[in-house]
Amino acid sequence: MKIVSIFFAILLVSFNLNSKKIFNAKSHKLENGLTLIVVENPRAPVVAQMIWYDFGSSVEEIGKSGLAHFIEHLMFKGTKKFPKNYYSNFISKIGGSENAFTSYDYTAYYQVFPSQHLEKIIELEADRMQNLTLTKKNVEIEREVILEERFQRIESNPSSQLDESMRSVLYPNNYYGRPIIGWKHEIEKLNYDDVFNFYKNFYKPNNAVLVLSGDVNFSKAKEIVDKYYGNIKSSDTLKRKVVSDPDFKTTTFVELKNENVKQQVWKRIYRTKSFTKSIEESMALDLGMKILAGGSSSVLYEELVDEKKIFSMVGGFYQGLSKGDGYIYFYAIPNKEMDEKEIGDLIDKEVKKNIESKITPEKLELEKQKYYFDSIYGMDGILKPAEIIGEALSVGLKLNEIEKWNNKLKKINIDMVKKELNEFSKNNNYVTGSLRN
């Protein structure tokens, strides 16, 4: 399985500048709360199914980090009706593919397969929502697998260790400060009862959005989904506690030294607004960040790498698809050893200086065109619409907002972008990190 945080919010929201709706998606809600979304695209006899549970590590008890990801692994262990690897073997046999991922705010499972097998795949997914086979032996075995995964992803990767520490400081009162995979010492203590109770409490139809994209008829899909999901009981277990983090009053710095680090790396993570607070403001911020720090054609890269040659790499991005705060991530690799404060002051100065002089209407229009061309590729696919819609709905956006995304994009102008970047330049809710030998 893979742990994913989907970083590029706008890039994932495809749009056609000449249409009123992007996907023309159709929706249906079952009496038990399950939401069905269908995007009909009969160009190829293939369907993508994604089921999005609107929780990830967000619902874990304090002291039991990693449970959501733990269950993601165990969801592939079979049911009484379809034991062990039946589901995965069936997908492989028909030439399909599958995977899953866990984030802070959602957990998702997907399959891509020939459309003639639609009913069977829906049956299999509905079955494991309620009939998963969980044994103490499976839990013990999978715990070791997850600990090894954590070792590979975090413990043996100094950069990931630094990111983990920085997030724990940036979000002192929030699940965004806990690693999705879990803290090592807490994973080691997770047991069968923890896993069983989590599954029984949260894997319910009213916590899920099922998205079907591709060669699928809406009426037929409703009929099949009602048949296999309709009798599954809902639950009111999912009651979120809304928490927020205090504003920072101090400068916060985290340093990690490791003998395997060959090159100094500077990082900074900011807490900021998300799309669920304001789509227009977040869209303007995202566009501005792409112009300012997104890749080798960005303002900061051209100035500090190509021209002044202070850094071998510099950049940043905005991630705003979240139920709570979004964040902005900056990084820089100096060509020669520099003091961390000197790096931060230099980047702050360049950001403030360039907002007025180099964030231009021409560059803004170019970024809008990039989204458009990226969207053409995305809409040609089967899986991408299911990813876009599922993620957006899981964090709290509405289907109509997704369908009309292009209308909001048209309204974004250079003044809006500069306003968001100027607000960002005054943001003191950040943690600075340093990776050194």
Place of tokens 């029984």: 200
Burial of 377 (0-12, 13-18, 19+ CB in 10 A): exposed
Give the 3-state DSSP-derived string for 184-210, with helices as H, strands as E and coil as C.
HHHHCCCCHHHHHHHHHHHCCHHHEEE
Asked if 225 and 123 count as a contact pair (C-beta separation under 8 A), the reply is no
Alpha-carbon span 76 to 142, nearest angstrom? 11
3-class secondary-structure state, position 88: helix
Place of tokens 């089921």: 51
Alpha-carbon span 181 to 346, nearest angstrom? 35
Q: Strand 265-272 relative to strand 326-334: parallel, antiparallel, unpaired?
A: antiparallel
Of 120, 124, 28, 110, nearest to 79 by C-alpha is: 124
Alpha-carbon span 306 to 314, nearest angstrom? 11
Name the residues annotated as catalytic.
72
- The identity of residue 339, as a single letter, is D
Alpha-carbon span 213 to 178, nearest angstrom? 33
Alpha-carbon span 277 to 158, nearest angstrom? 34
Asked if 290 and 298 count as a contact pair (C-beta separation under 8 A), the reply is yes
- The identity of residue 429, as a single letter, is N
Q: At what angle do helices 118-130 and 86-93 cross, to 10 degrees?
A: 160
Distance of CA 209 to the CA centre of its chain: 16
Alpha-carbon span 21 to 279, nearest angstrom? 17
For 24, 63, 206, 289, the CA distances from 37, given in Å and listed in that order, are 10, 35, 14, 32
Backbone φ and ψ of 116, nearest 5°? -65, -15
Asked if 37 and 212 count as a contact pair (C-beta separation under 8 A), the reply is yes
